[in-house]
Structures are given as structure tokens and as C-alpha cells.
């Protein structure tokens, strides 16, 4: 095919005729084309994709940022997508965002964040993305193929880069698609007062190796897996990751060492405020077992309060499976949104603002908003391991267990960044003496739970130092218990009298089928997903003493479930 030549002056944002642009003749890299050939269920390509690799553009401080440019090999004006990534520009990003969207009629600029993928400067977890994003848009304005219509797209930290740009949205920014996205680094590393240890290690491994290519990333992943038990079981925890991650990472040390969200260290880290008052149409996509799904719901609420045009898609996915098993749905949703707002083609938009996958029923459900109802139905833990709809008589204590940090309660599935995340059989976990279960009677009719779940618990300990992990499970007719959603909260340090705490357990959309039972699971931790509470009161990274604790659950505890009418 002969490379097209066109005068792009009509698309220049300042109205001044731009130089004629001759499309390069390069084809996308072989690895990208091979991976592209494996996908099924995607819309037919509209154009052949071209490739212009290794472009240079100045960062905010003059450092050089490198990017690859993918484009449709056809005449005409096409909108531009900006994808800013710290994970390199090769597989899977080159086919997923470069090739696929160029084939659908978009220029795609796939850029490596500073300090990664050949870009100059030093990588920082958050401090440079806003300024570097603005500098990149300034560079785009001078490109002869840029027609003034800009969108952003990408998952995880690529979502963070989008929110950073949206803190001061350039006038060309007309659409955003944030997939399994991050906006608050503190909440990624710390939750409920506990260090999210396994996720922190996975972030460290990915940030230091993935941008170097698949081979180095695979070796780094295997190295971390090999050393994981040593790292997470070390006393003290500080510095134990060095062997598993191949060296010291000052930014990771700093992130793990500051558990308080109000610490000045985190000033400017969260880009969540970009959604306050934002009027750039924004599509949010996540999965029920995504480690960042709560951040997605937080941003959805902010966008709705701002009156921003927004949509929400939550599938039966983890952080990684959304871009693997769920990619056909995620791609279709993203493409429809970008066509509607960058190409004035709303024909493929779904009519409902919200679409969620209903676990248990394994069907999709369209909703006007999220959550669909603010109401909750209380369920009460009772003596004998029962979970009832009727408030039981007051009881001094329902049950107790001994949590031993030398043999911490393990984490099974749930919202992690690793492949071990997701819905899992909790049978072996629930056999442990340090795990309590409260189980309801078999359901006579289907019950749909849609919205945020929480446990309001009255807890006492004999030492004053403990965490409480609460999990909602679905128990089928054969007794198989599968996790639905969960959360962890560190108890406030104090005397032995019962304290009342609320454990947010994330949100869900799940149908409990007839014959199934609702189960509330309570334990003292989920290790190594959350760093174990050593029971000594020492900081998590520096603790050297392990002290067992007895945890007692008292009466008047409540499981709040957002029950809505079950669709038939």
C-alpha cells in the first residue's frame, strides 16, 4: 500500500496550516502482530495499522520521553489516543492499544513514563505524571496529524497517568477510559491500617522489570515467587524484599514506611480530586475481584456528583483477567465510548449508565446508577455459628479465637494484583481454629446483593493489638464456600473492653441462589495479602516480636447487606 500524503492544516488547533505529513511505511512489530492474531471476538478492523517507533518529545524538565506512534494507514483526519505507561511499549501494550485502536481509526501515542522504557529522567511513583502529561499534549499540538480531538485510555498505573492529566484538563481532552485504574497510591499500599504487603511487592517487581521486556519481567516474577515466603516471614520486614526484587527500591521503601494517609509524604499523591468538577466524558471499567475496584467506585461517585457524563462497567474479573479473559468486553466498551465522544458516533453506546455482572447468576444487569439502592438489610451473627435475620438477644460474647502471628491466617483469593486473586474455595481456610464462621439457613428464594457490604462488629482482645478480617461467602448445596467480598480493619489500640468497628468489605453484585447459604467469615488477618499484625504494637516494617492475641466477637454485631429485588 502506498503511504498516504495529506495536508493536515485543517486539523491544526491554532488554525495555521501545518506541514504535509507523509505516513511512515513501517508495520507494527512482529510480536504485536502475532499477539493480535490470537484474539477472538473483537470487531473487524477498519484499517491497516502503521507504526512510527521511538519518537522523542521533551518532558516538563527537558528530559526526553520516548513514544511509539500507531496510526491508520488511510487518508483522512483521525482523533488521537494518548497512552502513558511505565511498563514499556512492547507486548501486550503495543497490540492492545497501539494496533487495535489504530485499526479502528485512531492515532495512538504509546509513551514510556520518565525513567522507564528508554525515557530519560528518574521514575517516581506519582510526582511527575501531571507535568509530563501536559508537556506531551503540548508536543501533540505541533504534530501535523493531530486534529485537536484527544482521548486517553489505559489500565492500572496508566489510569493514574490519565487522572494526573485531568487535574488540569487540556482543552483538547474530550474522552477518558480508565480501566482497572489507580488514582490513590496510598490506598494501594495501605488499607484499614494494615500494609498491603503482597500488592506492594508485586508493584515493586512490575515497576522495575516490566518495561525491560517480557523476558526480564518473567524472570523477575519467578524470582519474587521463589522468595515470597522468606520476604513476608522475615523479622524485621524492612529490607527483606531486596533479594526477591533484585535490589533496593527507595520509592518502595518510602511508600511502605508511611502508613498514615495524612502524612506529608503523601501530599499530592492522590489524583482523585481530578474527578471533582470534571466535565470530560469518562468511562470506568473494573472487576469485582480487582485490587483497585474500590478506587473505581470512589471516582464514579465523584464524577456523578460533578454532573460528568460517565459510564461504569464491572465484570467478573480480577486486576489482570480484565485484560485477558475479559478483553473482548473491555475493548468493545472502550471503543464505543471513544467513538461516541471523539468521532461523534454514539451508535454503539449502551443505553444504561451502569452494567454489572451478577455473580452466582452469571448474567449481566443494566442499572440506572450505582449503587442501585441505599438501603441495607441487617444479618446478625448468633451463638452456635448461626447467621440470622432476627436480632438475637444481647450476648456478652458469641465466640473467640487465638490469633498467632507466628502462624498467621493465610489469604485465599480475593482482590489481589497476582494470579492467585479471585473467587476461591475457602473450605481449608475455614477449618482453621483461628477462623470463625457464621452461616445462615438455606435460601428459599434467590436474593440479590448489589452495593457496598460492611460488617459492624463489637470486638475485644486481651492485648489491644489486633486486626479483624471479615469476608462474605456463598455456600452452595454441597457445602462449598466461595468468597464474594471482604475487608480488613486494624483495631484501635486501647483497653480490653469491647470496641465497635466497621469493616468495609468492598462492593458486590451477587445472587444467592435457592438452597445456598450466606456466610460471614471472621479472622485476625489475611497474610501475606496484608502484613500480619505482630501483636507487639511495633511499626509493621520494624517489628521483631510476635505476640499472640485472643480476639472475641460480641453480640450486637451486624452484617449489612444491600439487598435489592431479584430479577426473574
* Residue partners of 534: CB distance under 8 A and separation at least 6: 235, 405, 465, 540, 543, 545, 546, 547
> Are both 153 and 94 inside the same structural domain?
no
Angle at 494 between CA 491 and CA 499, to 5 degrees: 55
The answer on 179 and 82 residing in a single domain is: no
In SS3 terms, 111-166 reads as EECCCCCCCCCCCCCCCCHHHHHHHHHHHHHCCCCCCCCEEEEEEEHHHHHHHHHH
User: What is the DSSP track for 290-319?
Assistant: -TTHHHHHHHHHHHHHTT--EEEEEEEEET
550 and 432 within one domain: yes
Question: Has residue 161 been placed in a domain?
Answer: yes
Residue 189 lies in a domain: no
Shared-domain flag, residues 277 and 347 = yes
How many CB atoms lie under 10 A from the CB of residue 297?
Answer: 20
Q: Last residue of some domain: 265, 300, 318?
A: 265
Shared-domain flag, residues 475 and 403: yes
Same-domain check for residues 155 and 140: no
Domain annotation covers residue 295: yes
Residue 4 Cα to chain centre, angstroms: 40
Report helix, strand and coil shares of the chain as percent, to nearest 5: 25, 30, 45
Same structural domain, 156 and 101: no
Of 335, 369, 403, which marks where a domain is finished?
369
**Cell numbers 502506498 label which residue?**
2
Say if 468 falls within a structural domain: yes
Residues 446 and 559 in one domain: yes
Residue 5 lies in a domain: no
Rounded distance between C-alpha atoms, residue 215 and residue 31, angstroms:
13
What lies within 8 Å, CB to CB, of 208 at 6+ separation is 220, 245, 246, 247, 249
- Contact at 8 Å (CB) between 467 and 488? yes
Number of other CB atoms surrounding residue 208 within 10 Å: 21
Q: Which residues of the chain have pLDDT under 70?
A: 1-19, 394, 494-495, 568
Residue at a domain's end among 265, 285, 303: 265
Question: Is residue 160 within 8 Å of residue 243, measured between CB atoms?
Answer: no
CA distances from 232 to 200, 228, 356, 418, 528 (A): 11, 6, 35, 15, 6
The answer to whether residue 537 is domain-embedded is: no
Cell of 110: 504509546
Q: 98 burial class (0-12, 13-18, 19+ CB within 10 angstroms)?
A: buried
Q: Are residues 432 and 359 in the same domain?
A: no
DSSP state of 96: I
In a domain, 414, yes or no: yes
Number of structural domains found in the chain: 4
> Domain with 286 in it: what CATH number?
3.40.50.1820
Neighbouring C-alpha atoms within 13 Å toward the C-beta of 433? 6
Cell numbers describing residue 360: 452466582
Task: Give yes or no: residues 153 and 139 share one domain.
Answer: no
Q: Are residues 451 and 393 in the same domain?
A: yes
Q: Which domain holds residue 446?
A: 377-530+546-563
Same domain, 111 and 74: yes
Alpha carbon distance, N-terminus to C-terminus of the chain: 54
In a domain, 241, yes or no: yes
246-272: per-residue pLDDT in tens? 999 999 999 999 999 999 999 999 999
Amino acid at each position: 500500500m502506498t503511504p498516504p500524503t495529506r495536508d493536515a492544516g485543517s486539523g491544526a488547533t491554532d488554525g495555521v496550516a501545518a506541514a504535509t505529513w507523509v505516513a511512515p511505511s513501517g508495520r507494527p512489530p512482529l510480536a504485536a502482530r502475532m499477539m493480535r492474531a490470537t484474539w477472538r471476538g473483537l470487531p473487524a478492523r477498519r484499517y491497516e495499522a502503521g507504526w512510527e517507533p521511538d519518537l522523542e518529545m521533551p518532558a516538563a524538565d527537558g528530559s526526553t520521553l520516548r513514544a511509539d506512534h500507531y496510526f491508520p494507514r488511510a487518508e483522512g483526519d483521525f482523533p488521537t489516543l494518548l497512552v502513558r505507561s511505565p511498563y514499556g511499549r512492547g507486548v501486550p501494550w503495543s497490540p492492545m492499544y497501539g494496533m487495535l485502536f489504530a485499526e479502528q481509526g485512531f492515532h495512538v501515542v504509546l509513551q514510556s513514563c520518565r525513567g522507564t522504557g528508554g525515557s530519560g529522567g528518574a521514575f517516581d511513583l506519582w510526582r511527575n505524571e501531571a507535568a509530563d502529561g501536559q508537556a506531551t499534549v503540548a508536543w501533540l499540538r505541533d504534530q501535523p496529524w493531530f486534529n485537536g480531538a484527544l482521548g486517553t485510555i489505559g489500565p492500572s498505573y496508566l489510569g493514574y497517568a490519565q487522572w494526573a492529566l485531568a487535574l488540569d484538563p487540556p482543552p483538547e481532552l474530550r474522552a477518558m477510559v480508565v480501566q482497572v485504574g489507580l488514582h490513590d497510591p496510598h490506598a494501594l499500599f495501605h488499607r484499614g491500617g494494615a500494609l498491603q504487603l503482597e500488592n506492594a511487592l508485586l508493584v515493586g517487581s512490575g515497576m522495575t522489570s516490566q518495561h525491560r521486556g517480557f523476558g526480564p519481567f518473567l524472570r523477575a516474577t519467578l524470582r519474587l515467587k521463589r522468595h515470597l515466603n522468606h520476604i513476608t516471614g522475615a523479622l524485621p520486614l524492612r529490607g527483606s524484599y531486596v533479594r526477591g526484587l533484585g535490589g533496593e527500591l527507595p520509592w518502595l521503601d518510602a511508600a511502605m514506611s508511611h502508613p498514615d494517609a495524612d502524612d506529608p509524604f503523601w501530599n499530592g499523591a492522590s489524583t482523585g480530586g481530578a474527578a471533582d468538577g470534571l466535565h470530560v466524558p469518562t468511562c470506568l471499567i473494573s472487576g469485582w475481584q480487582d485490587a483497585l475496584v474500590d478506587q473505581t467506585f470512589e471516582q464514579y461517585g465523584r464524577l456523578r456528583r460533578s454532573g460528568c457524563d460517565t459510564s461504569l462497567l464491572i465484570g467478573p474479573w480480577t486486576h489482570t483477567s480484565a485484560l485477558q479473559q475479559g478483553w473482548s468486553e473491555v475493548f468493545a466498551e472502550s471503543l464505543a465510548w471513544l467513538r461516541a465522544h471523539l468521532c461523534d458516533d454514539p451508535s454503539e453506546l449502551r443505553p444504561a449508565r451502569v452494567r454489572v455482572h451478577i455473580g452466582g447468576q452469571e448474567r449481566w444487569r443494566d442499572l440506572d446508577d450505582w449503587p442501585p439502592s441505599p438501603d441495607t438489610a441487617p444479618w446478625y451473627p448468633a451463638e452456635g455459628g448461626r447467621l440470622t435475620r432476627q436480632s438475637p438477644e444481647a450476648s456478652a460474647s458469641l465466640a473467640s479465637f487465638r490469633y498467632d502471628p507466628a502462624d498467621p491466617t493465610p489469604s485465599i483469593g480475593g482482590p489481589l494484583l497476582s494470579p492467585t486473586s479471585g473467587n476461591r474455595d475457602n473450605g481449608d481456610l475455614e477449618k482453621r481454629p483461628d477462623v470463625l464462621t457464621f452461616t445462615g439457613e438455606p435460601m428459599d428464594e434467590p436474593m440479590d446483593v448489589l452495593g457496598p457490604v460492611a460488617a459492624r462488629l463489637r470486638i475485644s482482645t486481651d492485648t489491644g493489638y489486633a486486626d479483624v478480617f471479615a469476608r462474605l461467602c456463598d455456600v452452595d448445596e454441597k457445602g462449598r464456600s466461595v468468597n464474594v467480598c471482604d475487608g480488613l480493619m486494624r483495631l484501635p489500640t486501647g483497653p480490653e473492653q469491647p470496641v465497635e468497628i466497621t469493616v468495609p468489605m468492598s462492593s458486590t453484585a451477587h445472587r444467592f441462589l435457592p438452597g445456598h447459604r450466606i456466610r460471614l467469615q471472621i479472622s485476625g488477618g489475611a497474610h501475606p495479602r496484608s502484613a500480619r499484625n505482630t501483636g507487639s504494637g511495633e511499626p509493621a516494617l520494624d517489628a521483631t516480636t510476635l505476640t499472640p492475641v485472643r480476639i472475641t466477637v460480641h453480640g450486637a454485631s451486624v452484617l449489612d447487606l444491600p439487598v435489592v429485588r431479584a430479577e426473574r
